[in-house]
Every structure is written in structure tokens, then in C-alpha cells.
Amino acid sequence: MELCGKKKLHALSLAEKIQVLELLDESKMSQSEVARRFQVSQPQISRICKNKEKLLADWCSGTANRERKRKRESKYSGIDEALLCWYHIARAKAWDVTGPMLLHKAKELADILGQDFVPSIGWLVRWKRRNNVGFGARHILAPPFPPEPPPPTPTPQAQLPLSLKDFSPEDIFGCVEVPLLYRAVPGRAGTCDRVQVLLCANSRGTEKRRLLVCGPQAAPRCFFGVSSEALPASYHPDLAIPWSEWLSQFDRDMGRQGRQVALLMAARVVEEVAGLPGLCHVRLLPLSAASPTQPLPSSVVRAFKAHYRRRLLSKLAAAQSERAGTLLAEIGAGITVLDALHMAAAAWAKVPLQLIVSSFIQEGLAPGKTPVAQDQASEVLQVPGGLSLEEFSRFVDLESEEPVSGACKEEVGPADEAGGGEDGFEPLPTKADALQALGTLRRWLECSGTTPELFENFYACEEGVERLCCL
């Protein structure tokens, strides 16, 4: 009988380790579940957690090689850091830095520091790998997209614009504003149901920016008593995207991480914010209206909308089962902007990383040779019960249809149906109400024969609520 050999160690890259930390923080998955997802051992996940601060510092530095799997420290760390500092100064001055120039400078720095060191080609290669340094074109961006239209038959792996070549895939972001009929039901959409959602992600799918939802109401009644920190997405009381404010915040965030990033945007938006001062860490790259490519791939936008529509239908169906005989349109009127923020945030979180990567590559916005995964494309249009594929496809693209005109009505929520308090607002729930609701929910799950997986999610929620009640 042949004995099994020793199991081969699967080392994770820096980018994958950051994904591990995000999963543990955001999804509340156990270390064993995360280990199975990444096909590594649980002790390896535990070591990643212990080194969390160091890994995050490397990630935010902007100089670490994010594809490296092991960090090997240089024997001459003083020379290493001094040369890296000189290199950044040289690139900021737009000098053409070559390998011989770096070797000569490393020797000069070694003499200044009093170290007996003769740099070699091998040392230089390892230094570049450690510090994510690459030679080639200067970091001076030429006009990113030519005004003339693209060739009639572009290949999927068309050559990247020169401006994008100066950025790593993790530092190439795309953003787009998406109109969303947030409480529409299949076959019917009102003119007052529209909000604007700003989606932004990088080409590797490792960073999805917090959603910005813009609505027509300055102070929706559903926000009464809700802490702004607890909102799952940012809300702006105007249908127009506040580009200047959003870009300034994005630039500050990148500055805190020490990064220089490219942001693909619609050309009209770039013209609109042309006079915005102080963007030091974000380079705006416009895409003309004539270009067939969107700043954020259309398949990513469609996946977001499909996940939102499925969540909305699930919510409406659950409410209709409780109120037999009530039309979906009447139930849809009870969907508030706050409900929309929660469903949009959940839908954005469900857009898979692999779909984002393959979509950017297919549309020529990031380097790579990975084709679009067919199973992911079919997942986007996974049809809920009660609708055909054609009906659900039309429901996902409802914004392209002409909305039903009519007078705008105030949102109807649970408080309005029950009569509300003296001021028309539902009384804010107390800690006792929250604990009683947990008991009711657990009892309902016990009587409904639910799955162990759903109970695990309930336990995590229960623990979080009890922790908040103790504050």
C-alpha cells in the first residue's frame, strides 16, 4: 500500500491575506471556514490574524509587492530603505531611472552608511521584488483615451491605454452612476421611485468602495432615530451625484494609504470636475460617450442590479404571504429609502470578485488573459420563482423603460400603517424590544425546521445584538 506523501504547503499572497482578514471581519466566518475557502490550514489563518497589523501596514504602504507570498527581509535594510527613498524622489522628478543607476546609487549609500557592501544584479532584482518597483515608462500620464473612435473590430485583449500601464491592477478603479427604481415591482415603475447609486471598485475586485445613494428627499422619515454611522451606505439628499465631495474623500483615503491610483470615469464627469483642486493621489481617466466600454464594466453593474432585484422580490413575497390578497404594487409602496440602502449594500457585497476581474480584463481595462467565467454569467440572471427568464431580465433592466407618470406620494412605512406616534413617527425600539424580538425570531426558527446554517447566522446576530445591549 502506497503511503500518502506530505501535504504540500499552499502559501497565500499578501492580497489573499488581506481578503482573509476582510472575510473574518465582515462576514463573521470562522477561521476553519475561511481556511477551507482558501484551501489552507486553520493554523495558517490563525498566523495571519496574529500578524494583522503588520500585513495591513504593508498593504497600505503602497510599496509592498501584493502578489508576494513570503516576505524576505534584506540583510542590508538601511541601504534598502535609503535607496527606495531616493528612487521615489527620482520618479517624482520624472528621471529615467535605470538598473545601473540604482546599482551605482546603492554603492554610494553603502559608503555613506559605512557598510562594506557591493550590490549585484541579483540583489537589485530582489530589491525590486520586495519593494514592488518596476522600470519602464515614467509616471507622467499622457492623455489616456484618444478622441477618435476605437477600431471597428477590437480584440478582447486590446492593448491597454498608455496611462493605465503605469498602474498595477489593484490601483485601477472604475466608477459609474446607476439609476435604480428601488421599489418597483415587475411590469410597473413609478417616476418617484428613482434613486442614483454610485458604484466604484478596483479591477481586481479586492476593493469595493462604500455605496453612495442619492435620493430626492432631504430627510426621509424612515431615517428618524437612525445613526448615520449605522447606515449601510452613504446617502445624499439630491439626485445629482456630489462628485467634488466624493472625489475629495476618495483622494484623502488613498493619501492615507500612500497610494497613487487611476480612476476611470465618464468624460462628461471629468469635464464637470475639471477645476477641482487638490487631487494628489487620484488620476482621473475619462472615457468618452462614444466608447463602447463603461468606466465600470456593464456586466458588474448588471450583476449588482440582478442581486438587488432578487432581494427586493424576496422581501415583497414575504410581505405578501403575510397579507394575503394584497397586490405587490401596494406592498412595494412600503419599501423605504432605508430599505433600499440595506438591499443595495447587500447586493453590492454579493457581486463576486471573479466576475469583476474577468469583466475588467474582457473590456480591456486591466491586464490579464482570464476569460469571462460562464457559470458566473449565468449566476447573475438566476431567476427567482414565479418569473420566467425573459420577465426577470426585463425586471433587471426596468430603468431603460418609460416609467409610469403620476403624482409623487410620500413613502408609506410600517409607522404610517399602524398610525405611528404622536408626531407620525414610529417609537424607537428599546433594548428590551430588541431582546424580545430575538426570542421571537429564535422561536419561529425552531418551529419552522430551519437549517443549521441559518441558525449559525442567527447566533452571530444574537451575539452582536446582546453585545450592543450591554453598552
The per-residue pLDDT for range 10-52, each reduced to its tens digit, is 677 777 888 888 777 776 678 888 888 888 888 888 888 888 8
Given a cut of 80, is residue 439 above it in pLDDT?
A: yes
Q: Which fold has domain 14-61?
A: Arc Repressor Mutant, subunit A (1.10.10)
H or E element, residue 103: helix 99-113
Task: Read off the pLDDT band of 208 (50, 70, 90).
Answer: very high
- pLDDT, mean of residues 207-218: 90
- CATH superfamily, region 77-130: Homeodomain-like (1.10.10.60)
Task: Read off the pLDDT band of 247 (50, 70, 90).
Answer: very high
- What is the separation, in whole angstroms, between the first and last Cα of the chain? 60
C-alpha span between 142 and 451 (Å, rounded)? 56
Q: Are 386 and 395 in contact (CB under 8 A)?
A: no
The per-residue pLDDT for range 252-269, each reduced to its tens digit, is 999 999 899 999 999 999
Q: Are 208 and 174 in contact (CB under 8 A)?
A: no
- Top-confidence range, 37-41, 231-235, 276-280: 231-235
The per-residue pLDDT for range 419-431, each reduced to its tens digit, is 454 445 567 788 8
- pLDDT, mean of residues 157-170: 67
14-61 shares its CATH topology with 77-130: yes
Domain boundaries along the sequence of the chain: 14-61, 77-130, 165-400, 430-471
C-alpha span between 421 and 429 (Å, rounded)? 12
Pick the closest to residue 213 from 178, 244, 251, 245 (CA basis). 178
More confidently predicted of 203 and 77: 203
Q: What percent of the chain has pLDDT over 90?
A: 19
- pLDDT, mean of residues 433-439: 83
Given a cut of 80, is residue 135 above it in pLDDT?
A: no
Beta carbons within 10 angstroms of residue 62's beta carbon: 18
The per-residue pLDDT for range 359-413, each reduced to its tens digit, is 998 888 887 765 544 445 445 556 776 667 777 777 777 777 665 554 445 555 5
Given a cut of 50, is residue 138 above it in pLDDT?
A: no
Given a cut of 70, is residue 468 above it in pLDDT?
A: yes
Could you give phi then psi for residue 220, rounded to 5 degrees? -55, 140
CB-based contacts of 94: which residues, under 8 Å, 6+ apart? Answer: 138, 139, 140
- pLDDT, mean of residues 194-215: 93
> What is the chain's mean pLDDT, rounded?
76
Eight-state DSSP code of residue 225: T
Strands in 172-181's sheet, in edge-to-edge order, are 234-236, 212-214, 194-202, 172-181, 261-266, 282-287
